[in-house]
Amino acid sequence: MTKTPKGLRLHIGIFGKRNAGKSSILNALTKQQVSIVSDQAGTTTDPVEKPMELLPLGPVLFIDTAGIDDEGALGALRIEKSRRVMDRLDIALIVIEGEKWDHFEDLLLGEFRKRETPVIIVINKTDLYGREFSELFAKLEEKKLPYVLVSAKEESGILELKQRLLKSVPADFVNEQEIIGDIVRDGETAILVVPIDKEAPKGRLILPQVQTIRNILDSDACCMVVKERELAAALEMLKTPPKIVVTDSQAFLKVAADTPDDILMTSFSVLFARKQGDLLEMVRGTLAIDDLKSGDKILIAEACTHHPIAEDIGRVKIPRWLTQYTGAKLTFEHIQGHDFPPDLSSYSLVIHCGACMTNRREVLSRIMTCKAAAVPITNYGLTIAYSLGIFERALRPFDFAYDYWRNRNRGQKD
């Protein structure tokens, strides 16, 4: 986290009158987070900056602009400083107590409209004021302003606020993670292993394979594409070994066997757990496989409804591998498409597909829902790697996830 420069973090400003509860909202948001790096005290006139990892959204910088409804000379200075904050925001939260919207909020809104900054209205203190503000709701809906009802004190509405934040995050921030271009650099080579079985689309490749090739080219690197049967010959053919071999999860064991141990190896599905979701969160989720016991229910979630290969993996292979690995009598339930159950409390684990046909925003939203319900979530590729005993190797290309796994293992052995 310390590696993320301030400028690359998502900047979220928190605005509102004094006593609207801005700080308590911020505290509720940051609760359960990995850490708050800096909690520097601002002067009374300075906005307070709080860089943090808002999981699974990534690194954000909250800027708390307390009390700009002050009167007098000090107030004018604060307003000036707040204006400068506005200029660098990605999202603005306007926090109000109950329905207390007046000319001050109109003024703020005007500033954000001028700057085309996405705004979320946080209606706080529902514990005191209730949740029925039909006049305010009508006004916000007319202005097309998204709003969330929150009680920071009771910590209700916090998941909804996070989901709403995720929806408002500019696409650049959500999609900035490269597929593989940060692993394979200028002049290096990656080998992609693409099995051609009856599930492969006629005369083509599937989208994540094409996207990975493109990302390698964008990185000024060379990309070799082979079937699993040709991998050994391809490795033999190169004067310099490739930086990494990436395989379809289904060929994991053969590819692991054919790739010398000093060459990185992983699967498309692990690359896309990072690209399209949150790898660390899913690594944590994968470890919950060890806690599974007979009678546990597992939700297998597929983002699209039409991919024939997914059915085979999700309905047959993963249940079989998991049952073999755990030795437990497990129950599997399947969902497809955009419906993710709001109540996950009956599940011990969620296993998501590679999510190649959905977007990162949707996967992050599902991870948030799982986190809020304290249900671990993983994906197909990680589950397969774990069941087959090649989890550590598949994580090695990803420092942060590999370190997490190694530290945890060390912790368990001590």
The site string for its own copies over 49-88 (x = CB under 8 A, - otherwise) reads: ----------------------------------------
Is residue 81 classed as helix, strand or coil in its secondary structure?
helix
User: Of 1, 138, 171, 217, which lies in the binding site for its own copies, with binding defined by CB under 8 A?
Assistant: 217
What is the layout of strands, in order, in the sheet containing 331-336?
Answer: 331-336, 297-302, 349-352, 377-379
Residue 210 C-beta: closest distance to its own copies, Å: 5
Residue 224 C-beta: closest distance to its own copies, Å: 5
User: Of 149, 224, 256, 349, which lies in the binding site for its own copies, with binding defined by CB under 8 A?
Assistant: 224
Residue 379, interface with its own copies (CB under 8 A)?
no
Q: DSSP character for 36?
A: B
Residue 263, interface with its own copies (CB under 8 A)?
no
Q: In sequence order, which residues have a C-beta less than 8 Å from that of residue 99 and are 6 or more positions away?
A: 123, 129, 133, 135, 136
The partner residues of 92 in beta bridges, in order of sequence, read: 13, 119
Judged by beta carbon, residue 120 or residue 194, the one nearer its own copies is 194
**Cβ proximity of 379 and 356 under 8 Å:** no
**Cβ proximity of 269 and 380 under 8 Å:** yes
The stretch near its own copies (CB under 8 A) out of 100-108, 135-143, 237-245, 250-258 is 237-245
Judged by beta carbon, residue 30 or residue 189, the one nearer its own copies is 189
Is residue 387 classed as helix, strand or coil in its secondary structure?
helix
Which of 237, 348, 335 has the alpha carbon at shortest distance from 291?
348
The stretch near its own copies (CB under 8 A) out of 18-26, 58-66, 205-213, 388-396 is 205-213
Which of 273, 327, 336 has the alpha carbon at shortest distance from 296?
327
The site string for its own copies over 320-339 (x = CB under 8 A, - otherwise) reads: --------------------
CA angle 137, 47, 176 (to 5 degrees): 75
**Cβ proximity of 196 and 227 under 8 Å:** yes
The stretch near its own copies (CB under 8 A) out of 20-28, 186-194, 299-307, 359-367 is 186-194
- Summarize as ranges the residues that interact with its own copies (CB under 8 A): 187, 189, 194, 196, 203-205, 207, 210-211, 213-218, 220-227, 229-230, 233-234, 236-240
